Amino acid sequence: MIWFIPAILTAVAVASQDAWIKKWFSHLSPVEMFVLPLVFSLPLTLLTLAFVPVPTLDGVFYASFIISLPLNAVPFILYMKAIRRSPLSLTLPYLAFTPVFMIPTGYLFLGELPDIWGMMGIATVCTGGYVLNIDVRHWSVLEPLRSVFRETGSWIMLIVSFIFGFSSVVGKLAILHSSVMFFQMSFFATLSITLLLIFGIAGKLNFAALFAHPGKGVIAGVLLYLHLLFHGIAIAMTKAAYMISIKRMSILVGVIYGGFFFAEENIVIRFLGSLLMFAGAVIILIAGE
């Protein structure tokens, strides 16, 4: 059960970072919205890395590390584009489908396959994601699915969910062939520096805009640091699909943020869907015992 605690903390950190970035940095481009928390988390990741022992590394680690760079950079940029263009409560729910995509990838790369209770829990979480998109004013069985194609942020986030189905599994593979702290800190430090160089040289970054509000940027960096720290700890302790299902409880927190801070509509239905997702999380918790 102990893995459930860092998984939930990951969910809170993710939702808080999303809301913070949307609130204060939506005027930036999706690339800048993605790079900003990386920049401000870089001192923390480098400082932590200085105290982390270097484990014995093999070819699997290096291959997983390299593959993880584009598998994280691309979906996170799309992620920022989605939350920038659409309400949190209409984009974040589609992340609930990541554990479904992870069932085949987890089995292929890690030899992990959820048992019947785990499958039921994942299915319940996905059902909650469906309920979140019900609009009582235009009700039909297929309406929540059709909304994917009408709302730009929704279909973008579904693509993100699919890619995360690979990146989370490949990331865990790298952790299993190194250590939690070493991979998480070295990977995100490398990702931060690489993207700063690539997008900086390409002229995609307005550094004056990135550092215009350093206090708010530091908070974004700390939230990302907590996200990657808790994520690494949790996913190393249980099946990847289980951990990501709990991490997707960030949707519930995000819906609450959407109602309180952004006055988004249809919050009652979306909150009920979130509660259904919570029920799925409880089933997964029991299955993970």
Residue 188 belongs to what domain range?
Answer: 4-287
pLDDT of residue 201: 93
pLDDT of residue 145: 63
Nearest 5°: CA angle at 44, between 217 and 56? Answer: 145
pLDDT of residue 221: 97
pLDDT of residue 148: 64
Give the whole-angstrom CA distance, residue 92 versus residue 79.
9
pTM: 0.81
- The residue to which tokens 């984009």 are assigned: 91
Write out the chain's pLDDT in tens, 289 residues: 688 899 999 999 999 998 999 899 999 998 999 999 999 999 999 999 999 999 999 999 999 999 999 999 999 899 888 888 887 767 777 777 777 787 788 888 888 777 888 888 878 877 877 777 676 666 666 666 666 677 788 889 889 989 988 998 899 999 999 999 999 999 999 999 999 999 999 999 999 999 999 999 999 999 999 999 998 999 888 887 778 778 877 877 877 787 777 776 777 777 787 778 777 777 776 665 5
Q: How many domains does the chain divide into?
A: 1
pLDDT of residue 266: 72
pLDDT of residue 194: 94
User: Of 92, 73, 89, which Cα lies nearest the Cα of 196?
Assistant: 73
Give the whole-angstrom CA distance, residue 164 versus residue 177.
20
Burial of 96 (0-12, 13-18, 19+ CB in 10 A): buried
User: Of 284, 275, 287, 273, which Cα lies nearest the Cα of 94?
Assistant: 273
pLDDT of residue 158: 84
